[in-house]
Amino acid sequence: MKRPEQEDPLAYRAVRGGLWVMGTTYFEIGFGFLATIYLARTLPVAAFGTFALAIVLSHLCSVQSYLGVEIAFAQGNDTSHRAIGTFATLRMGSALASVTLVLLLSPFLRLIYSDLVVDIALILTGMAVVRAAAGVPAILLERELLFKQTSLADSLTVPISYIPAFILAATSGTVWAIVAQATVRTLLSSIAIIWIGLRRNRTLATLEWSFDADLARHYLKFGSVLGLNTIINQVRGQIMAFLGGTVLGEYQLGFLNRARQTSGWASTLFQGLLSRTGFHTFARIKDDKMRLHRAFGNVVWFLTNIAVPISVVLIIIAPDLLHLLYGPRWLPSAPLLRILAAVSILTPISAVAVRLLIALALHRMLTLNSLLSLTILVLLGIPLALNYGMLGLCCALAVTQVGVVVFLFAIVHRRAGITWRVIPLRPIAAAFAALLAYYALNRLYPMADLPLFARVPIKILLASTAYGIVVAALHGRRISEQARYVWELIRGIRSPEADG
């Protein structure tokens, strides 16, 4: 029997790497979830709003995100000392520029926000310099689909990073506990990535790096359109927190932040998979339309089947879950969580489409999509937020997400020949059927009188069972075939002919 690397190294490494990303990401989610329970019960609601608002300001001042040089370097095949040196210089220079920008803007920001928010934003922006130092080894490792090393480095730093957070939460009970966790994790994970990268490629330490102005202009030109798209995406992604924190205050933003983090349990997983395995896989097979179509459909199907059951459970148990885990003071987050969980059902489709457009270098289409979604969100979000608060913002996001999915799929259909048939409608239909079945059962046998600690697991079991029965009836055969395909790739027994 041939080794998997001899048969289909791309599929083999992509699947194995994806499983490592999935496993370590869920470890991070699980540990972070347990840690957040303690922090949410210990720290005031406003602390989470303060930190979220500081993140918004830091992201909006992130110069390195706007230049797009990481994608430009990752897409090319040049790993010479000239390319590495040029990329490293641009990456570090843009990180330092971000810090400088926050320093210059801080007098004006302090007129609008508290000194605490601005100080934390400056610290978070400073961490970008640390991440920039690990940029070269991280990209070189992931270009080869060596996600095991980078994933382990990330996940192992999570438990350590929470030690100072727990100490500060117990002693001071302030937002600095959350800041400590974020900074310590960035420092430790960056050091680990640098160490792994140097061990994997020892020539990096002795490489005579050089800066090429022409290559730098090429990277900046390539990333300029993508950078514009990133600016718009940054604003779009942070507009809810920005409007919530600026108009409604840090306290109300704390409830939105809790709802967004809880609804993001599924999206945290597949965003990690896409940003690391998805992009590199699509970029390698972008010239093979048949494989590209099949890969796109498989990724959308796989991620949707991860996100949908989690969303169904969250919609059903939202108030009970928040009460049980974080305490009754977090109950105002429940309606926000339900809306965001429903929106996350569509997120895998748009996320995969975006990664495909990046791999195909269709940056103008991404920019147009970002402008469209930002326009819808602002036009709907501002009046709805002023009239209905955070609930209005979440409703505006739901409408925006539907428009994004329709627009993106029209683009990938036109430019890459992806048909609408790859959209996994059956899991989505199963979600609606499971919700209807649960609420019908709940009307016959109300569970409000059950103890809270019993009500949550019973609801989870009922929701999971209802969804599982419906989805198995609708496409149990497809689930079996996909599971067998992945298992054969993992074991290395999948032949090229079997792959089509």
pLDDT tens-digit readout, 157-173: 888 999 999 999 999 88
From residue 42, give the alpha-carbon distance in Å to each of 83, 120, 140, 358: 48, 20, 41, 42
Sorted by sequence, the CB contacts under 8 Å of residue 387 that are 6+ apart come out as: none
- Angle formed at CA 451 by CA 27 and CA 318, multiple of 5 degrees: 50
Average pLDDT over residues 282-305: 72
Average pLDDT over residues 34-45: 92
**Residue of 106 and 410 predicted with greater confidence:** 106
Lowest mean pLDDT among 37-41, 48-52, 105-109, 423-427: 423-427
Query: 3-state DSSP: the chain helix, strand, coil percent, rounded to 5?
Result: 85, 0, 15
Q: Is the pLDDT of residue 116 over 60?
A: yes
Q: Is the pLDDT of residue 499 over 60?
A: no
As given in the structure block, the two tokens for residue 378 are 């602002």
Residue 368: band (very low, low, confident or very high) from pLDDT cuts 50, 70, 90: confident
Residue 143: band (very low, low, confident or very high) from pLDDT cuts 50, 70, 90: low
Average pLDDT over residues 292-299: 74
Nearest to residue 309, comparing CAs of 480, 469, 440? 469
pLDDT at 493: 46
Amino acid making up residue 443? R
pLDDT at 495: 42
pLDDT tens per residue across span 456-467: 888 888 888 888
pLDDT at 209: 66
pLDDT at 10: 53
Q: pTM value?
A: 0.72
pLDDT at 399: 92
**Residue of 436 and 359 predicted with greater confidence:** 436
pLDDT tens per residue across span 213-272: 777 777 777 666 666 666 776 677 677 787 777 777 788 888 988 888 888 776 665 565
Average pLDDT over residues 196-215: 68
Lowest mean pLDDT among 27-31, 138-142, 348-352, 396-400: 138-142
pLDDT at 413: 79
3-state secondary structure of 64: helix
**Cα separation, 432 vs 240, whole angstroms:** 27
